Amino acid sequence: MPKPVVDLDLCEGCGTCEEMCPEVFKVGDDGKVQIIGPDKCNTCNCQEAADTCPVQAITIE
C-alpha cells in the first residue's frame, strides 16, 4: 500500500496537502506537517498532494 513520506526539512507548513487530504496530513503547531493517517492514502489523492506541494516535500513510497 502506498504511504506518504514528508521531508520535514523542506516542508513549509503551507497546508495545501492538508486541504487535499485532511485524513492523511495535518499541519502541527510547529509549522510542519504531520502524517496522521499513513494508511488512508487510497481514500484520497495523496499523489496529487505530492505533485502540488510547492517544495516537493512529499513522496509516496
Q: Which of 3, 16, 34, 45 binds ligand SF4 (CB under 6 A)?
A: 16
CA separation for the pair 6, 36 (Å, rounded): 12
Q: Which of 24, 33, 41, 46 binds ligand SF4 (CB under 6 A)?
A: 33
Is 36 an interacting residue with respect to ligand SF4 (CB under 6 A)? no
CA separation for the pair 10, 40 (Å, rounded): 22
Q: Which of 3, 15, 26, 34 binds ligand SF4 (CB under 6 A)?
A: 15
Is 23 an interacting residue with respect to ligand SF4 (CB under 6 A)? no
Helix (H, G, I), strand (E, B) or coil at 49: helix
Q: Which residues pair with 60 in a beta bridge?
A: 4
